[in-house]
Structure 1
Amino acid sequence: MEAVRAGERQLMARLPDGALMRRAAAGLAAACTGLLGRTYGARVVLLVGSGDNGGDALYAGARLARRGAGVTAVLLSPERVHEGGLAALRAAGGRSVVAPGAVVEGAVEPVGGLIRRADLVLDGIVGIGGKGGLRPAAVELADLVQEAGVPVVAVDLPSGVDAGTGEVNGAAVRAAATVTFGAYKPGLLIDPAREYAGAVRLVDIGLGPHLPPDGARVEALQHADVARLLPRPSAESDKYRRGVVGVVAGSARYPGAAVLAVSGALRSGAGAVRYAGPGSDAVIARFPEALVSAGPPRHAGRVQAWAAGPGLGDEPEARQAVAEVIGSDVPVLVDADGLRLMDLAAVRARTAPTVLTPHAGEASALLGVAREEVEAGRLAAVRDLAERTGATVLLKGSTTLIAGPGDVPVRVNATGTGWLATAGSGDVLSGLVGGLLATGLDAHDAASAGAYLHGLAGRLAPDPPSATDVAEALARAWQDVTS
């Protein structure tokens, strides 16, 4: 977040006083107009704190008031309110009242009825510098808004969430929409804070050229980014040049995991899939194009990458298979049972790329912390696990995060859907990412592109999708991204 603040300072130094805030306010007012449907006669309440977010809300309120809206600002810190914004609001016909609980002399106007009659509330209480949950006076206002059921538009981000980590440490505003300025903040992309943001709209205020190249420590790939990463065969390609991925998955108890992991690998763009393990009969019956072997990985033949772990169970043969894969000199993905069976020291000693794909429970076991700690601080957890293991970590869940060791941005997958929380879906993802590794993508890109395609396939598959439906929708996801 310091990179965003530094960029804002550089941009403000080049512009007339107040120009940057008015740019932000113009985008904010336009978004509010779209939500209201009509501006004239609409009743808008501004929840105004002492920082620049409060100023943004006041200037946007002034624009709405000039278009005929009835705008009232509720001031939580009237002694520290943005004076220029408040003057603009009053000049446009808006008015202000003092919030209950604010430290002022004299009478405080009740605001419960004002909020209940509102068509829209703007949350300008706290900006990106806020830490911890809302203060008591702000909690009272947020509770009134929630009880009234009035839609909220958050200014830059919902007050009370951590802009840099996505954590929510206390009470916070729940918004129907968030209008953010210049750059996406991590807290708008990462759960649990993402759930408080609603629909997010980015307003360009000219900040981009003033952000350092490595300033966005969290990024979200879009279709065009993923399209540039995906492998494309050339006229000289054959199945081996396109990459061969080995799959170590499934067991006598869980043969379906082998089938699902292979299904993802077959739709990864790799030229061939070798399966090694006890699920070979089930795999060849479902996918005759797969190359199968019932023996250990070392007997499967040459591969350019391995995907190992889904449905392996606890047999000694499974532990040995995982050890063989981790001991290889090619890129490796480890998932599910493989995460329990692997030797962390062997993972850290690897020189070839490694991808680990835990969900929150598996990540908590690897980190030695409670699952609730991982879920409350997903960004910190994925970074910590990447540094501890030296691997690229794809942390699955309500928000999928991809982090690598060292100074690389964490990527947030924007395509996920709750429908992917279904048995076997992660097995498909394992095969898909393993196959992308075999095509030559580096670990960070393979995990990111795989998560993107997998999430998109979950959206394209019929509701409610099974894991098989997700695998079958991967071809459509490829077409959607590359067309």
Structure 2
Amino acid sequence: MRYGHGVEAVRAAEGELMARVPEGALMQRAAAGLAAACGDVLGRVYGARVVVLAGSGSNGGDALFAGARLAKRGAAVTAVLLASDRTHEGGLAALLAAGGRAVHPADGPAVITRAHLVLDGITGIGGKGGLRPAAVSLAEAAYEARAAIVAVDLPSGVDADTGEVRGAAVRADVTVTFGTYKPGLLIDPAAGLAGALRLVDIGLDPYLGAAELEALQHADVAALLPDPTGESDKYARGVVGIAAGSQRYPGAAVLAVSGALRAGAGAVRYVGPGGEAVLARHPETLVSTGSPHEAGRVQAWVVGPGLGDTPQARTTVGEVLDSDVPVLVDADGLRMLDPERVRGRTAPTLLTPHAGEAAALLGWDRADVEARRLEAVRTLAARFGATVLLKGSTTLVADPRDGTPVRVNPTGTAWLATAGSGDVLSGLTGSLLAARLDPRDAASVGAYLHGLSARLAEGPLSALDVADTIPAAWRNVRS
């Protein structure tokens, strides 16, 4: 499991640790890890040309001390001092003593032109807003020089707590972060600027407290996957009901059923007008044309994909919400939700909107949801009293309970931006709900397998390609 902690928690942990270790020890640990990472990026340190973009405070100090270590190994290191009156004195002294040099920001672009590696130590985790003009010109010079850019703790110009980017920011190839991941390194749009992540242990773990963010890894998902036994029958494995599709969109029904069956559901009960198309693809499906109440026994429901917006669709959503089993609501079903009705359910509810659907539920602009994903998913979960899986370039899962870490999915790929992939995710996740995973785990595992399936299928791909690759993703996690 990867954990993310906010700025306040990190600073408190650093304060506790610094009270227990010699002065400057924490910065030296960070600088040692940073210099080692830079060495890995360069391949050969001796003779390399390195530029340190040093802002004020400890972030600039980390960069300067790392630059001193690289200079001692034979690199030609130049520091561009963006705040010369507030430069970390110890870091600058160490760099100069190691043979490095320092220049004014006006001379920075000319130095950067010949650099192999640029260290971004402009702002730290407390930075707010975008880069100032002088820093923007230096970052642009690094892009033009095609130097490798290594960010210190996080790319300058991004919000460490939220992943928001409110102006110009550094686009790094590698980010070396200290002690713990910061939420902004895992959530877009900031995550898209971080490049490859490298975590340096500086001893914060005992002092960090509860995480704000979690990211599952293979071992975590493997531990949550349902595992049939010799005594299992279809009900023990989970029967999922799917109310999806319409005369206009029968494919949504096929895709949702495909996701559920390929994810190990003991059986799928399909209700709706897409039965003929579903049976043509999956003859094992139990199809009925009546109401959800009449479909038979299920352990979870999926409702919404391709339903359209008709009186019958609204009736279907209402009947599913009246059930006493977990319900996943997606797509057209989301437009028919009343927060009080969802909050009043006795069984759990899982909502799976994309950014546009989330914007409609919140009364926001879509661009605001995409810029403030963490705030959006938390607000939705609180408003509806439901678990929310917010789809997108960063997929987030929020639980309505206070203090529960938001989960961020690490397996997504841009190839999932294809028609019907969300319907497959709904069926896949509904199958996990029916297998009795709680909504937070079902959503997290569903998103993980969905993204991994797309990676294994390789692009270009269709939604059915994703569904058909779910068993391979399952085996990949378990291997």
TM range (shorter): over 0.9
Contact 1:327-1:346 within 8 A present in 2 as well:
no
Correspondences of 1:2-17 after superposition (within 5 Å)? 2-17=8-23
Post-superposition shift, 1:397?
A: 0.7
How far the C-alpha of 1:253 sits from its partner, in A, is 0.9
Q: How does 1:1-150 map to 2 (within 5 A)?
A: 1=6, 2-100=8-106, 110-150=107-147
Amino acid at match of 1:58: L
Deviation at 1:9, TM superposition (A): 1.5
For residues 288-337 of structure 1, give each alpha carbon's deviation from its aligned partner in whole angstroms, at most 9, with x where no partner exists.
22111111211110111001110111222111111111111110000001
- Separation of aligned partners in 2, 1:156 and 1:318: 49
Within 5 Å, give how 1:423-442 maps onto structure 2. 423-442=419-438
Question: Structure 1 stretches (4+) deviating beyond 4 angstroms?
Answer: none
* Aligned mates of 1:226, 1:467 — CA distance in 2: 22
What are the superposed Cα offsets for residues 51-76 of structure 1, whole Å, 9 maximum, x if unpaired? 11111111110111011000011111
Give the letter for the 2:20 counterpart.
Answer: R
- Alignment-mate amino acid for residue 194 of structure 2: A
Residue 277 of structure 2 corresponds to: 282
Describe the SS at the equivalent of 1:241: helix
Contact 2:299–2:326 under 8 Å retained in 1: yes
Please give the alpha-carbon distance, in whole angstroms, between the structure 1 residues aligned to 2:32 and 2:431. 46
Gaps of 5+ in 1: 101-109
- What residue is the counterpart of 1:300 in the other structure? 295
Q: Aligned to 1:472, which of 468, 471, 479?
A: 468
**Which of 317, 328, 331 is the equivalent residue of 1:333?**
328
Aligned equivalents of 1:79 and 1:439: distance in 2? 61
Residue 313 of structure 1, aligned match among 308, 315, 318: 308
What residue is the counterpart of 2:239 in the other structure?
A: 244
Kept after mapping to 2: 8 A contact 1:173/1:196: yes
Answer yes or no: is the 8 Å Cα contact 1:323–1:343 preserved in 2.
no
CA distance in 1, matches of 2:69, 2:410: 32
Match of 2:165 in 1: 168
Number of aligned residue pairs: 472
* CA deviation after TM superposition for structure 1 residue 135, in Å: 2.4
Instruction: Tell me how large the CA RMSD over aligned residues is.
Output: 1.1
SS in 2 for 1:240: helix
Could you tell me which residue of structure 1 aligns to residue 413 of structure 2? 417
TM-score normalised to the size of structure 1? 0.96
Of 291-300 and 344-353, more deviation after overlay is shown by 344-353
Task: Confirm or deny: 8 A CA contact 1:332 1:355 kept in the other structure.
Answer: yes
Deviations 1:344-374 (A, max 9, x none): 3311211211111111100000000111111
The whole-number CA distance in structure 2 between the counterparts of 1:192 and 1:342 is 29
Q: 2:178 aligns with which of 154, 177, 181?
A: 181
Which residue of structure 2 aligns with residue 104 of structure 1? none
How far residue 150 of structure 1 moved from its aligned partner, in angstroms, is 2.2
Q: One-letter code of the match for 1:17?
A: E
Alignment of 1:341-356 (within 5 A): 341-356=336-351
